[in-house]
Amino acid sequence: MTVGARKIRVLIVDDSALARRAISDALSDDSEIEVVGAASDAYGARDEILALQPDVVTLDLEMPRMDGLTFLKILQEHYPVPVVVVSSLTPSGSAKALEALAAGAIDVLPKPDGTGNLGQLAHQLAYHVKAAAYSRRESRHLRPASAQAVLARPAIRPGSFSARRAILIGSSTGGVEALRFLLPHLPDGLPPIVVVQHIPANFSRILAEHLNGLCPFTVREAVDGDELRPGLCLLAPGDFHVALVAAGVGRGYRVRLAQSPPVHHCRPSVDVLFRSAAELAGDQAVAALLTGMGVDGARGLQMLRAAGSRTLAEDEESCVVFGMPQAAIKLGAAEEVVTLERMPGAILRALAKTSSNET
């Protein structure tokens, strides 16, 4: 993957020489990426961006003179180059990273500390840099305004669903902002929701807490053995797969967490969740595959549709990266393809359509 016929040009911005070296070494392992420069603070980054015109910037948030979040906001206003945040994901750092995504960053990664596996770091960085290089800027800018939209909702009787019902959502690049739009536009009293967002460890809890404050139902990070119930949304923890298992006769499902090998280089993987639901839920599930790079979730969505579930995919117009939904659409896995703005209504319509199948 290259930008046109050339490599993806990356500028590294970090005040730590150790981190700059680790990021540069990791990205240099990929033949489709070229590190064109580095800067130790925002002022140096400004000059380098103007001189080098990189395709992607990796940005630390904790820097002297001007913090990365302030610089990101200025950058997105005057020179909206795609940015991947590479920063410390402590609780306070995760909160800043969440704000950075709202300010226009494409994705978030934990900052290398020199002790991790360089090969794994190289793959993760390269994956996110490529996703950023092919992101759609106009889609990102639509989202804040979309949060003000008033959506027509089909008549739903909250709490009227059987224990076998579940709503499943998968997303990756651009997915945090997509979830911040989608979930608050769903009403309380729906069947349980399980979300897999490709996300670093330590960041998923902060995201769940943030979403919980926006939604009319409870949102929290999943814990192994959690039993699903109406009015509860569980978010897969970073670095853990989540799957559905039977909770017992007439009791619906529990979640099982595992650190088995990554699927499509992802952990958590959307396919792990979708495939487990296809085996258990059959025609009682509604699944939506949102923005993201790669193919994770496409086969699982195909299995869900074959089992009778209602399946949705986000369309190219609103996707930050039209990778995962496109792969599903090509497989014929999506029963309906809709914009993010129409996704809440589509989920509710899908629930209403399948209510007659409940047993």
Query: Catalytic residue positions?
Result: 172, 198, 296
11: closest CA among 58, 43, 73, 46?
58
Angle at 310 between CA 148 and CA 246, to 5 degrees: 105
Q: What whole-number distance in Å separates Cα of residue 216 and Cα of residue 266?
A: 30
For residue 215, the 8-state DSSP code is S
Full strand arrangement of the beta sheet holding 83-87: 33-39, 8-13, 56-59, 83-87, 107-110
Please give the span between the terminal C-alpha atoms of the chain, in angstroms, as a whole number.
48
Which letter does DSSP use for residue 20 in this model? Answer: H
Q: Torsion-angle region of residue 104: left (phi > 0), alpha (psi -120 to 50) or beta?
A: left
Cβ-contact 247, 254 below 8 angstroms = yes
E strand or H helix at 94 = helix 91-102
Residue whose entry in the numeric block shows the structure tokens 């076998």: 164
H or E element in which residue 286 lies: strand 285-289
CA distances from residue 309 to 303, 327, 331 in whole angstroms, order as listed: 9, 18, 15
Contact (Cβ atoms closer than 8 angstroms) between residue 204 and residue 233: no
CA atoms of 39 and 312, how far apart (whole Å): 43
Quick check: 344 and 319 in contact, CB under 8 A? Answer: no
Q: State the alpha helices, DSSP H only, in 216-336.
A: 270-280, 298-306, 324-330
